[in-house]
Structure 1
Amino acid sequence: MASKLKALQSKACQASQFISKHGTVYYKQLLEKNKEFIQEPATIEKCNLLSKQLLYTRLASIPVRREAFWKELDHVKQLWRNKQDLKVEDVGVAALFGLECYAWYCAGEIVGRGFTFTGYYV
């Protein structure tokens, strides 16, 4: 166990050194490649305008997303009505999806408790 910890520390140290050497170059390349999305001058007023545009654009998209949700829910209801026609693959995918949702829920609970493994899951 101690040797694995040392190996992990060594890898983390190597990764940190790589990032410290090449991180600035990557950052500059990233900004250069995406400069069309950068607002100049970056003033507080411009940032406030962009944040309001994002908020109201998201609010305007709610009806479209609501409609898509109900359409998907109708599709699931239709599948449930015809459950005798379901294939094993479809049931397997649904089960894996449910298991993944549960796993993300458990991970969120653990993170919310400060990465402690006490409580309901022990």
Structure 2
Amino acid sequence: MLSIITLFICYLVMILASILSKKTISDREKNSPYECGFDPKGSSRLPFSLRFFLIAVIFLIFDVEITLLLPIASIFDITNMFSWLFTSTLFLIILLGGLYYEWIQGALEWSK
């Protein structure tokens, strides 16, 4: 019974939020890009470079992996030498394998 009441309250809150959050007035000036009060000279929807996006995503992935590598040096004294060496070597091999794969696929070349 408690779960039915909880679901009902959640459903009621979602409906209420959906009704209250809708904008009823659609103004042309509010929907247009803002350039210091002047009409825009060009299109505000310029095509986005997919190559730049791919390089940015690869950078983020390798940046997160570097932050995962940092604690390896700090746990050297705490853990067993074999397990530390095996784990760090395996992680670096996977990281370098991913880098090699990206290089072979040509994702790291800026101009193509």
TM-score w.r.t. the length of structure 1 is 0.35
**Which of structures 1 and 2 has the larger relative contact order (alpha carbons within 8 angstroms, sep 6+)?**
2
TM-score w.r.t. the length of structure 2 is 0.38
Which structure has the highest helix share of the two? 1
Task: Report the structure number with the largest CA radius of gyration.
Answer: 2
